[in-house]
């Protein structure tokens, strides 16, 4: 690992390095897309419709932020892309399952996702429920495979962290608190806690899984985990800001929905300026964790700034 | 393993050994219940409602057929109950998640389950969707834990088989085919295939996971897997027969529902006599696989007959 050229941490990075990041994200997104396509091949048998729905929910779009994090952190440790792409595909499938279920009428009742009909609108509710269920299973199945990593211990480590991040004490728990909190004003610490679970845990895992694949030392793993925690929190604040300021066309989904549904957001609690300050503070915390990696972590630095500067 | 006293395989076993089996199933059901209770402790935090729903869906009832299979097969190999009870709890959680999602209005739309309101009726649809999701995650998390087995290879083996049995190529795939087949007459081979996936795979896994925990030789594992496949198929035929002949009180759920919803059943295709003959044939196939285990497998023999003789 190169220790030379510790990178600057100012916001000017975004303009300087935005193009490099964009290029790198696109390249990795294609690799992840191909991995998902290969892991979920279309079929013609009785399961054709289920597989179609799973493919619809996971392929063809999205920034692949979680998968990009996994692959880019893993690359710090020279993990082959063939391994890290599988892990990235797994986390993207889990993310997709959560979106499919969140969009259901009984949940957030969203008709659109990434500018397309959401899965239950394209297919039907039963198919969307089952496709989400099977995507979660598939995500675990991929991690258990020897193709993901030769060492069973590493695979078990991935699966344990993944389950913790995505279950009742993580993503699903956060979604539940979010549903319960609708229509009443939550204090700032509860909003923080809810988002740390709902979106934060899986983004943190996405960074940490790269460190697990790379068999990082406990110290480096802890740093990458903290990096993930901070950008996960910044990501959600940026999302709240976007929901207020971006158009539906930019978002590819209904805008202003949080306010309409009475959800407590960072913007409602801190104002747009306050929310932006908080997001910047978290980004700088994230970037500080990357110090031992020197210039090799430049794309992860860029990503931290990108998370709060993006328009969709 | 004792090789003495190869047991008789006639239907007279049921009367002779029914009481012993019943006692053994009740004892193990209590152990499994306690394991689930310990693995899903109630909380008072923001996740209290989600955990409550997960506990509601998994605790307090059911025959624990899958968990019983797991523990009883594992006991052939002297696996400590503390390990096999965790594996049993895991498969029961997965089974429970599938029931919670199957009962949803968009799926089978069932208000009752085991004589109680189904989870979405007791809580609400969103909570039921999330509780099912989190139960699936928890089931994988338990298998990944070192408390389930000291060897990471054994845990990975469990997780791989579990994912295969429960995902798009297993239980969820079968549920999808079932939804798509509603209202039209399926030929016998399609009905067989659908049930092999929908209920058969998880029952097969329940037997196989005991063999995995016990680090069985490939031959014994294959036999226990076949045993599981056969009783899984017999179980579903018996279920179809029960749906026609049992009362709602006996079933703890709506009776005659298959016929009302236009589902293709073994009874519709083979008649009650034909279905009973087929179930008996499968049971005898299952029992034949137990030959190398001698008298130690008596409860598994009893179980094979119980599966087709039960009234609920």
- For residues A145 and B160, the answer to whether their CB atoms sit within 8 Å is yes
pLDDT over threshold 60, residue B8:
no
Write the residue in B46, B133, B179 that is nearest to A136 by C-beta.
B133
pLDDT digits (tens, 9 = 90+) for B280-304: 999 999 999 999 999 999 999 999 9
Mean pLDDT of A81-109: 97
pLDDT digits (tens, 9 = 90+) for B154-181: 999 999 999 999 999 999 999 999 998 8
Closest CA to B67 of B177, B210, B165, B280: B210
CB proximity under 8 Å: B 96-115 to A: 97, 101, 104, 106-107
Measured at the CA of A266, the angle between CA A260 and CA A268, to 5 degrees, comes to: 50
Rounded Cα distance, B134 and B157, in Å: 22
For chains A and B, CB pairs below 8 A equal 147
pLDDT digits (tens, 9 = 90+) for A38-58: 999 999 888 899 999 999 999
pLDDT over threshold 80, residue B4:
no
Helix/strand/coil for A243: helix
Rounded Cα distance, A118 and A96, in Å: 11
Mean pLDDT of A230-253: 83
Say yes or no: B37 contacts chain A, CB-CB below 8 A. Answer: no
Q: pLDDT: is B15 or B106 the higher one? A: B106
Say yes or no: A125 contacts chain B, CB-CB below 8 A. Answer: yes
pLDDT for position B17: 76
Say yes or no: B69 contacts chain A, CB-CB below 8 A. Answer: no
pLDDT over threshold 90, residue A170:
yes
Distance of CA A102 to the CA centre of its chain: 15
Q: Chain B contacts of A168, Cβ < 8 Å?
A: 47, 50-51, 54, 134, 137-138
Say yes or no: B121 contacts chain A, CB-CB below 8 A. Answer: no
Q: Chain B contacts of A184, Cβ < 8 Å?
A: none
- Return the sign of the alpha-carbon dihedral for residues A279, A285, A286, A291: positive
pLDDT for position B45: 82
pLDDT for position A4: 42
- For residues B42 and B122, the answer to whether their CB atoms sit within 8 Å is no
Write the residue in A49, A104, A159 that is nearest to B129 by C-beta.
A104
Write the residue in A97, A124, A163 that is nearest to B144 by C-beta.
A163
Band (B250; pLDDT cuts 50, 70, 90) = low
pLDDT over threshold 70, residue B73:
yes
pLDDT for position A257: 65
Distance of CA A10 to the CA centre of its chain: 24
pLDDT over threshold 60, residue A82:
yes
The mean pLDDT of chain A is: 91
Mean pLDDT of A3-11: 47
Mean pLDDT of A192-212: 96
- For residues B175 and B102, the answer to whether their CB atoms sit within 8 Å is yes
pLDDT for position B110: 94
Q: Domain residues of chain B, as ranges? A: 12-307
pLDDT over threshold 90, residue A7:
no
The region of weakest confidence among A247-251, B32-36, B59-63 is A247-251
Mean pLDDT of B46-59: 95
pLDDT for position A68: 98
Question: Class of A12-309 per CATH?
Answer: mainly alpha
Residue indicated by tokens 């649809």 = B125
Residue indicated by tokens 């959680």 = B93
Say yes or no: A242 contacts chain B, CB-CB below 8 A. Answer: no
Architecture in CATH for domain B12-307: Orthogonal Bundle (1.10)
pLDDT over threshold 80, residue B306:
yes
The shortest C-alpha distance from A7 to chain B (Å) reads 39
């Amino acid at each position: 690992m190169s220790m030379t050229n510790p990178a600057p941490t100012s916001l000017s990075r975004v303009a300087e390095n935005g193009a490099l990041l964009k290029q790198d994200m696109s390249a990795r997104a294609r690799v992840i897309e191909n991995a998902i396509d290969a892991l979920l091949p279309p079929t013609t048998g009785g399961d054709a419709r289920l597989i179609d729905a799973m493919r619809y929910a996971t392929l063809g779009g999205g920034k692949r932020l979680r998968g990009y994090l996994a692959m880019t952190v893993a690359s710090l440790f020279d993990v082959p892309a063939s391994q890290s792409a599988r892990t990235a595909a797994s986390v993207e499938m889990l993310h997709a399952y959560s979106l499919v279920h969140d969009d259901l009428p009984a949940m957030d009742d969203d008709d659109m996702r990434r500018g397309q009909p959401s899965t239950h609108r394209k297919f039907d509710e039963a198919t969307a429920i089952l496709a989400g269920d099977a995507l979660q299973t598939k995500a675990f199945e991929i991690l258990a495979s020897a193709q993901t990593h030769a060492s069973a211990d590493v695979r078990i480590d991935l699966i344990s962290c993944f389950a913790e991040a995505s279950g009742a004490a993580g993503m699903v728990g956060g979604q539940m608190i979010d549903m319960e909190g609708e229509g009443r004003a939550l204090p700032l610490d509860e909003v923080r806690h809810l988002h740390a679970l709902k979106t934060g845990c899986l983004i943190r895992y996405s960074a940490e899984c790269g460190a697990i694949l790379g068999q990082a030392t406990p110290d480096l793993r802890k740093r990458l985990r903290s990096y993930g925690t901070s950008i996960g929190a910044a990501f959600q604040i940026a999302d709240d800001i976007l929901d207020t300021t971006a158009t539906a066309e930019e978002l590819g989904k209904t805008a202003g929905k949080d306010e309409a549904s009475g959800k407590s957001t960072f913007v409602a609690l801190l104002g747009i300026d306050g929310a932006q300050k908080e997001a910047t503070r978290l980004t700088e915390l994230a970037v500080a964790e990357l110090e031992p990696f020197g210039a090799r972590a430049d794309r992860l630095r860029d990503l931290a700034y990108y998370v709060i500067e993006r328009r969709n």
